[in-house]
Structure 1
Amino acid sequence: MENKRINGNDLIALGYKENHAMGVALKINKKRLGFTREQMLVNFKNVLENPELYIEDAVFKPLAEILLKIDIIEKETISLKEQPDAYIVYGEENIEDGAKKQMNVAMKLPVTVAGALMPDAHQGYGLPIGGVLATKNAVIPYGVGVDIGCRMALSVFDLPASYLEDHSDKLKDILMQKTRFGAGHGYLKHERVDHEVLENSLFETHDFIRVLKDKAWTQLGSSGGGNHFVEFGVMEFTKADEVLGVEKGKYLALLTHSGSRGLGATIAAHYTKLAKELCKLPYEAQNLAYLDLDTAEGQEYWLAMNLAGDYASACHQVIHDKIKIALRAELLAKVENHHNFAWKEQFNGEEVIVHRKGATPASKDVMGIIPGSMATPGFLVRGKGEESAINSASHGAGRLMSRTQAIKTLSSTDLRAMLEDNGITLLGAGMDEAPMAYKDIHTVMAAQADLVDVVATFLPKIVRMADDGSRED
């Protein structure tokens, strides 16, 4: 009991309200600073009752200051709708309450037009992962996410599936030599490649973006940590696809998942902080702070977000080009789609800003890739354009347990057995990415049968992920 964490309910029991003062108190509690749990609770109660006595206190001064001006803060706070707007949930029985609670808050924003929750949804920051939110002329940095423009890219080669077994050592060497992983990792100057994305005028005209150019160049063509990967596998088309021009059969394919690296993360942090300063929302909605697109700040973020998205695409292009050259293979088809982004789209006859935070665009006939895990199938899909889902689908299987929980509870022996049973070679990764930490991809796909048609199936066989504990995803 001594070390039990103090939470919001404990503070409510002391008389605190769910406002910004509670947020400051919880931040102070994280440090604990030598106090026992009971001592912290006593102090929190005393500060609430007599904040003026703590205005010079080394620990509780920030809490005292905000309590003394809480009335002013609440007068400046933008009001939410009394009740959340209705929205549709796909695969609801397998979605945690935390994700639904976050979506409920998002549906109370005054700028919200429509929303939907995909079957891989789980709790995140602000908008849940797997959340889709349409707003009126406003963009939410945390509704886009930290890894702006994170995406999937698929190359199908003119090589048979048997190439995997016949040349497995060569394919492993290619992945090790032509890819680089991990938060903060990149290429030395003599290893760097050029790409037209680095010629974007924002790198020269925008002071904040200018200082990020060297980092962007260093990390161009690399992948992040966490659930980012580069993998070879078997792509099976059970029938010919005339649009893609691929005949029925099994092919060697390359699948990648990564985003905008340090460039996107820095942009996300900067504009999230700015949005919170300009858009004063109630405590429970503060991570959904938005920028009006009629303002200079809103336009700045929109341009920076699109640059990060283009950069993420360039990273995949560099990876796929390097590997294609190393294989000396011809490309039969290439498909790419992104999530963690905001689009200007038409919905019910009006232009809206559609945020897909961990959700795949699935407008009519739009191609997308929905991966499972390192040991389960992924799917090449074609969107059906379901308006109730805001033309979206899941972006993967979705986490079943947190990274911490996976590391603490899952067995490396079980993981090795699962990989062996499925004939998968794993290069890197940690237990937080074990397939058992994810929802069943087949259940997720069944829950969105109205949203996409499956065109082909991808079975991973040689998987490379970050092996340094990075969590840049």
Structure 2
Amino acid sequence: MIPTGEATAILPAGNHHSPVKVFGNEKIRATFDDLCLQQAINSRCAPGVTEVVLNPDAHCGYGAPIGCVLASPTHIYPGPVGFDIKCSMSLLQTDVPADAMIDKTIRRELIHAVCRRIPTGMGKGARDVPKSRRVEEKTGVAAMTDGASSDVLAALGVPVAWADRCEDAFHRGHDGSADALRQRLYYLRQGKTFSRFRSTVQQLGSYGGGNHFGECEVVDVVDDNESRQIANVFGLRDQHVAFLSHCGSRGIGHRLASGQFKQLEHKFDQWKIPYPGNDKQLVYAPIGSSEANDYIDDMSLGANFATVNHLLINALVLEAFQEIIPGTTGNLVYFISHNIARQEIVDNRETWVHRKGATRAFPAGHHALKRTPFEHTGHPILLPGNPQAGSSVMVGLPGAKESCYSVNHGAGRALGRRRAIRELDQKQIDASFDSADILSNCRRYPRDEAPAAYKDFEEVLRSVKQAGLAKEVARLRARFVIKDSSDADD
């Protein structure tokens, strides 16, 4: 990497390709291992790719690094979207004052109330907890084909107005229609992909395993006039309780992505097409081909499911708060994805921008924000750090144009899961949560999700600020965390 500024660099990708853009200061650039950099170069040299960006949280992923942006006007790439289609963040702001979270008994009751409504872990769904929303089959179909429509939200008991607080409330098929998605879903339900659709759709309103979580926060708005004004537009309330969620399309998205990877790999082998960088995880399809159309339809089905999943999670969280603290009110601040491909204008050309572990960062005045609540501020960016370092709400700056209007999606892993389990001490992890007065639903906090398994969040944020991509509006301080506790309880 060749430094070009305090928190910027380039990674040469050969004589025939422009370099990979790197965002991160010297300390952060030292966290990028050789495989991460090689994946970035492979991605940049792949057919049709016009730009690749490495964000400060970058680490090796599936074909392309997690924490990267890949732009192509002519090709669609499943790898730089990944298996958890439209894995996303959402933030619910309540009117509960921060002082209400001092009492551990209240926090413990809230944990139980949330967990009675929202299952956690692989394969878990509504049938696994007593107060979840049971999902009718027709509602599940509508959720996948229409996204967060007023009919779907009303059927699930979700405030219809929350759809206006979504990065994308719905996704359409390859031809811009919902009919394409209905036809595609009907086809998939005739085969093995969704042979148990009625059962699988019960995962609406659930967290997955791994790095998915729900987290009760106290909001600390940055103490300057501009930040306070922006926070007001966002709907943030200083020194009040909010709830941050990280989840995606669950088993439905994984099945859709797995099927697409297998089909495209079969086509590559059948046609004897070389894989970019000799890596079959970088399969692709030219826009306009039947293969690209099928992938766009499947990605959209998974993305719609993820959107409704998040909105239902937030409705259930609010219901849990109302059970323990009667009279609680709450509103969605924002829902934003970080595993998706979207059509956007890049250099005056319609381009598929793939964000793999990367978050959209449109600043004030961006044409895509016209007639939204965020037209004059930029939209909220939700960046999870770790429970002990906190998370951040940021807003994009004009300089984000250099990164395809993108920033990192969080802290990024410093240790792989196996290494974290092998090297980190369980007693020290649990003691650190006790010392920080952060409760959890886990008897033992998952070692592979411990704060030490992630990069230094302050350095990550410092890189974003130094590079002029975004500014911080508020910091979120965790009061309790909900994770998949199945492994931790064994």
Deviations 1:408-434 (A, max 9, x none): 100112212221221111223410101
Q: Secondary structure at the match of 2:252?
A: helix
Report the CA distance shift for 1:83/1:215 in structure 2 as closer, same or farther (over 3 A).
farther
Alpha-carbon RMSD across the aligned residues, in angstroms, is: 2.2
Aligned-partner Cα distance in 2 for 1:93–1:334? 34
Counterpart of 2:368? none
Q: Partner amino acid for 1:139?
A: I
Q: For the Cα contact (< 8 Å) 1:116–1:388, is it kept in 2?
A: no
Match of 1:186 among 112, 125, 134: 125
Does 2:259 align with 1:270? yes
Which residue of structure 2 lines up, in the alignment, with residue 420 of structure 1?
A: 434
Task: Give matches, 1:3-402, under 5 Å.
Answer: 84-91=17-24, 92-166=29-103, 167-188=106-127, 192-194=134-136, 196=139, 198-199=141-142, 200=145, 201=182, 202-206=184-188, 207=190, 211=195, 213-239=197-223, 240-242=228-230, 244=233, 246=235, 249-279=238-268, 280-282=273-275, 284-328=278-322, 329-364=328-363, 365-385=378-398, 386-402=400-416
SS at match of 2:308: helix
CA–CA separation in structure 2 for the residues paired with 1:273 and 1:388:
34
Counterpart AA for 1:306: S
CA distance in 1, matches of 2:293, 2:62: 23
Deviation at 1:100, TM superposition (A): 0.9
Q: How big is each residue's C-alpha offset from its partner over 1:212-254, in whole Å with a ceiling of 9 and x where there is no partner?
A: 6324422111111101001112112235335526476211111
Partners of 2:456 and 2:355 in 1: how far apart? 21
1:30 corresponds to: none
| Change in CA separation of 1:418 and 1:304 when aligned onto 2, cut-off 3 Å | same
Higher RCO (C-alpha 8 Å, min separation 6):
2
Residue range with higher mean Cα deviation, 292-301 or 105-114: 292-301
Deviations 1:427-467 (A, max 9, x none): 23410101001001110011111111111111111101112
Whether contact under 8 Å (1:281, 1:289) holds in the other structure is: no
- How far 1:333 moved relative to its partner? 4.6
Q: Verify: 1:437 aligned to 2:453, yes or no.
A: yes
Name the aligned partner's letter for residue 460 of structure 1: A
Contact conserved, 1:158 with 1:332, CA < 8 A, in 2? no
Give distance in 1, aligned partners of 2:75 and 2:234: 39
Structure of higher CA gyration radius: 1
Residue identity matched to 1:88: K
- Distance in 2 separating the partners of 1:163 and 1:452: 32
User: What are structure 2's unaligned runs of at least 5 residues?
Assistant: 1-12, 146-181, 323-327, 364-377
SS in 1 for 2:233: coil
Query: Structure 1 residue 179: deviation in Å?
Result: 1.6
Distance 1:212 1:154, change over 3 A: farther
- What is the alpha-carbon distance in structure 2 between the residues aligned to residue 339 and residue 278 of structure 1? 28
1:367–1:216 distance in 2 versus 1, CA, 3 Å: farther
Question: 1:139/1:230 Cα in 2 relative to 1: closer, same or farther (>3 Å)?
Answer: same
Amino acid at match of 2:263: L
Q: Helix, strand or coil: the match of 1:405? A: helix
Per-residue displacement from partner, 1:321-369 (whole Å, max 9, x unpaired)? 0121232321255211101110101111111111111011112113220
* TM-score, scaled relative to structure 2: 0.75
Question: Does 103-112 or 244-253 show the bigger shift?
Answer: 244-253
SS at match of 1:304: helix
Q: Percent identity?
A: 28
For 1:96 and 1:318, locate their aligned partners in 2 and report how far apart those are by CA, in whole Å.
38
3-state DSSP of counterpart to 2:278: helix
What is the total number of aligned residue pairs between the two structures?
A: 391
* Aligned-partner residue type, residue 206 of structure 2: S
Cα separation, 1, equivalents of 2:245 and 2:123: 18
Deviation at 1:149, TM superposition (A): 0.4
Amino acid of the residue matched to residue 461 of structure 1?
R
Distance in 1, matches of 2:280 and 2:457, equals: 32
SS class of match (1:302):
helix
Deviation at 1:276, TM superposition (A): 1.9
Runs (5+) with no aligned partner, structure 1: 1-79
Deviates more, 1:409-418 or 1:183-192: 183-192
Q: Distance in 1 between matches of 2:222 and 2:15?
A: 50
The 1:245–1:309 alpha-carbon spacing in structure 2 relative to 1, beyond 3 Å, is closer
1:370 to partner: Cα distance: 0.4
Verify: 1:410 aligned to 2:428, yes or no.
no
What is the deviation of 1:168?
Answer: 1.7
Q: Any conservation in 2 of the 1:231–1:463 contact (CA below 8 Å)?
A: yes
SS in structure 1 at match of 2:314: helix
CA positional deviation for 1:384: 1.8
Provide the TM-score with structure 1 as the length reference. 0.78
Does the 8 Å CA contact 2:93/2:237 hold for their aligned counterparts? no
Deviation of the 1:197 alpha carbon: 5.3
* 8 Å CA contact retained: 1:238, 1:248: no
| Structure 1 counterpart of 2:243, one-letter code | L
The AA in structure 1 aligned to 2:335 is E
